[in-house]
Amino acid sequence: MVNTRPDLSTAVNFLSRFMANPGDNHWQALKRVPRYLKGMLSLGLQFCKSIPLDKQMLSAFADSDYANDVTDRKSLTGYAFFLLERQLFGSQ
């Protein structure tokens, strides 16, 4: 789901850390994800065929931290690809 819904990658990444022992606050955060999706059903990416191919700009960004997670000192890396200022996919 994260590869097709880059807007969910941060939430899924964060919530997956607590799968072994979730607390009440984690369950509350998890319940917000379907509500968010329900509110976004009518939104989607649209690309216009009228823009010439040579004017379509592809951009990529990446970021990482080094052992910044205070619980286990794991590093995180994220990336995002954009075409015509619309995010195609990303990862965290």
Please, are residues 89 and 3 in contact by the beta-carbon 8 Å criterion? yes
The two counts, helices (H) then strands (E), for the chain are 2, 3
- What's the pLDDT tens digit per position in 25-46? 989 988 998 898 888 887 766 6
Is the entire prediction scored with pTM above 0.75?
no
Please, are residues 9 and 81 in contact by the beta-carbon 8 Å criterion? no
- What's the pLDDT tens digit per position in 58-92? 888 888 888 777 777 777 778 888 887 777 766 66
pLDDT, mean of residues 50-57 = 74
The closest of 1, 83, 2 to 45, measured between CA atoms, is: 83
Task: Fill in the amino acid letter for 74.
Answer: K
What gap in Å lies between CA 31 and CA 22, rounded to an integer? 13
Domain locations in the chain? Answer: 6-91
